[in-house]
Structure 1
């Protein structure tokens, strides 16, 4: 009977996969021996493999290029990175090696854009698409960017008041987009997105506020689906409604030349993951072209805003199983040396699933377990109820350390977890290592941040020197 952990994975999934292979009983990820990382840096450990950011950008560009060629699509394609997924400089530096554009969502994003311009990572040809509900500081920062000569800044109007606020602070002519308030999936608690302007109100808004305004040029219609780009009746129905609005608006507004199909691609969250990216891109391009050709209007340039797809698959986390608690006849709790709430908050907040596998001991027998974090919170766990299937790992042995890895964790976890701040039960933030390859393909690693220590946390809490 095959009872090794390797046999379980081999019989359950297609394995090895492109990024996951084995070296004896050690897991390799993108040909990186993860046990060597553990030996060098210890655990808990977060790591980011920078080349994967560029890999995914190039993949998406290739899909859109192939689709445009297939359907003789005359509009251009622009890949924007959605900064809210990860604002770190190392992400931006890697992403902007690939001639892409940027989408922002809040005031401080504009300060990052200005830093990128100063350093030459982006330039005045780079589109800056400004989304989100815009408070005063965000409006002021957008206006400063435009007033300083960045003509390819496109604030996307989220509500009627924003338009007047922008006009008050921007000197001279500027470009805008309008966001559609898409209808949500039937299972949602509300019918319409809180962001954007309703389908029926967009053309009247253009006629009243923009049509006769010599200082404003409408360039973009923004379409965002909260569930992302998926092959569902709901998605295609909303895209069809969006195209009807685009066509109606285009007939009255010749300057309108771009459609932003916001809402990202899904990323791999299990070894069972299947998604035909090329089919989806091709069908989106085809549907847009059919609708525009039938209405006898020019096809739009296509903008996408990929955040999780850009950075999500570039990162992971490794933990050591510290101890096993047998709580009853059926439940064994493997306790990790960190906290899920602290380091992978989406597992706690939205029951998100990540790829999880053992890093070592693949030739050992396996057992069914639950995974618990270090905090005293009963919700600090990662288990079968949350994540649709039982967790199996090599059997716990106090004399043979077991390490487990979570993969494709690169989007949102640091910002939601409060990078550099306080964490539940004061569990420290793990060490974070960046992994790159040099021109010869050899790995190069560097520590981006050390694990938080007591002094870091006490200073935040006000116990630092000079405090009374």
Structure 2
């Protein structure tokens, strides 16, 4: 009878997979021995596997190159990384090693850009696409970057006042983009995105504020879909509406030469994940070319803004099962040594799914469980609502430690969870490990940040000043 955890996985999924395999009864992730990682650094811990960032960037560039060659597409392709997904210096350094560009969201992003320029990681020809609702400090920082010579900084106009605000602080002429306020998916509580300018208002906006303004040149139309790039009627309908605006604008605005198809690719969230990236890119390129050819205008250069796709699959979290609580006849709660609310906030806030697998004991018998966090909040759990189905793990045994891993958690979880700050119920932020490969392909690890200590939290709360 097949009662071992490995038997359950074998009969449910295709296993091993590209990033997951076993070494005996222990899980390997990209050839990283996770059990050894826990033994060296302890639990709980977060990790970032930096080579996966470069790998995903290379994959996307290759997919676009194939599509553009297939359809004889004359425009250029520019890969942008959304810094809001993960602002950490090692992440930016790894991403920028791949000759890419970046997209910013707020004022402090520009300070990071300036720091990276001083280090030589960002060059003068690197595009810095500035999104978001801009006021005061963000406007000032963008203007400073452009005034100091970064001509490829392109603020994306989000509302009717930003042209004047930027013009007042930028000394010479500058380039801009316009963000389309796309219509949201029908299930949303509102019809139109709060960001950008409506489809029908873009051409009048260009005619009223940009066409006769010698200081401003329109270079880019920015199209963003909140749900990401998906093969459904909603996405293709919004893309075609965007392309109609592009060709209409292109006919009266010769400087317009770029289309930013923001809205990211999905990342793997289960062992049965299936998404045809090449097909989607082929079809996007084909639709853009068909529309432009029919209208008799040149195809645009293509910009993409990938955040989660760039860094999501590089991250992971490891916890130990501390204890099992049998709360009724059917429910067994495995308590982890941290909190889902604080360390994986998307599981709590939006029921986001991540791949969850045990790190060790794959040859043991399994049982159905619920996973609970350490806080006293009833929402601090992970179950079948977030997971692809019911959660099964090797049976809890007090004298045999069990570790579990959550994978592809590298985007947004640290910033949303308030990395380094206060956490719910004062649960400390776990230690953070950087994983890399040296020139010979050997795995190397480095401690990026220690687990928070009581003194760190007391200082934030003001108690240190009472000494």
Q: Deviations over 1:86-141 (max 9, x none)?
A: 00000000000000001000000000000111100011000000000011110000
Alpha-carbon distance, 1:177 to partner: 0.2
Q: Deviations over 1:293-343 (max 9, x none)?
A: 000000000000000000000010000000000000000000000000110
The match for 2:290 is 290
The match for 2:271 is 271
Equivalents in 1 of 2:405, 2:105: separation in Å? 31
The match for 1:467 is 466
The match for 2:333 is 333
1:143 aligns with 2:137: no
The match for 1:414 is 414
Equivalents in 2 of 1:205, 1:319: separation in Å? 52
The match for 1:179 is 179
Alpha-carbon distance, 1:357 to partner: 0.4
Equivalents in 2 of 1:298, 1:286: separation in Å? 14
Asked if the contact 2:351–2:385 (Cα under 8 Å) also holds between the matched residues in 1, the reply is no
1:1-400 map, 5 Å = 1-400=1-400
Alpha-carbon distance, 1:225 to partner: 0.2
Equivalents in 1 of 2:61, 2:118: separation in Å? 26
Equivalents in 2 of 1:337, 1:238: separation in Å? 44
Equivalents in 2 of 1:316, 1:376: separation in Å? 24
Equivalents in 2 of 1:338, 1:420: separation in Å? 15
The match for 2:441 is 441
Q: Greater CA deviation, 37-46 or 387-396?
A: 387-396
Alpha-carbon distance, 1:386 to partner: 3.6
Alpha-carbon distance, 1:407 to partner: 0.1
Equivalents in 2 of 1:325, 1:385: separation in Å? 20
Equivalents in 2 of 1:135, 1:416: separation in Å? 22
Equivalents in 2 of 1:118, 1:4: separation in Å? 55
The match for 2:428 is 428
Q: Unaligned 5+ residue runs, structure 2?
A: none
Equivalents in 2 of 1:452, 1:200: separation in Å? 51
Equivalents in 2 of 1:409, 1:135: separation in Å? 31
Equivalents in 2 of 1:90, 1:270: separation in Å? 27
Equivalents in 2 of 1:386, 1:56: separation in Å? 25
Helix, strand or coil for the counterpart of 1:387? coil
Equivalents in 2 of 1:41, 1:117: separation in Å? 34
Alpha-carbon distance, 1:389 to partner: 1.2
Equivalents in 2 of 1:385, 1:327: separation in Å? 19
Alpha-carbon distance, 1:163 to partner: 1.1
Asked if the contact 2:270–2:388 (Cα under 8 Å) also holds between the matched residues in 1, the reply is no
Helix, strand or coil for the counterpart of 1:317? strand
Helix, strand or coil for the counterpart of 2:134? coil
Equivalents in 2 of 1:400, 1:267: separation in Å? 33
Equivalents in 1 of 2:169, 2:135: separation in Å? 13
Alpha-carbon distance, 1:385 to partner: 3.1
Q: Give the structure-1-normalised TM-score.
A: 0.99
Alpha-carbon distance, 1:388 to partner: 4.4
Helix, strand or coil for the counterpart of 2:305? strand
Q: Deviations over 1:258-287 (max 9, x none)?
A: 000000000000001000000000100000
Equivalents in 1 of 2:387, 2:117: separation in Å? 42
Equivalents in 2 of 1:387, 1:208: separation in Å? 50
CA RMSD of aligned residues (A): 0.7
Equivalents in 2 of 1:39, 1:150: separation in Å? 47
Asked if the contact 2:203–2:249 (Cα under 8 Å) also holds between the matched residues in 1, the reply is yes
Equivalents in 2 of 1:418, 1:386: separation in Å? 21
Q: Give the structure-2-normalised TM-score.
A: 0.99
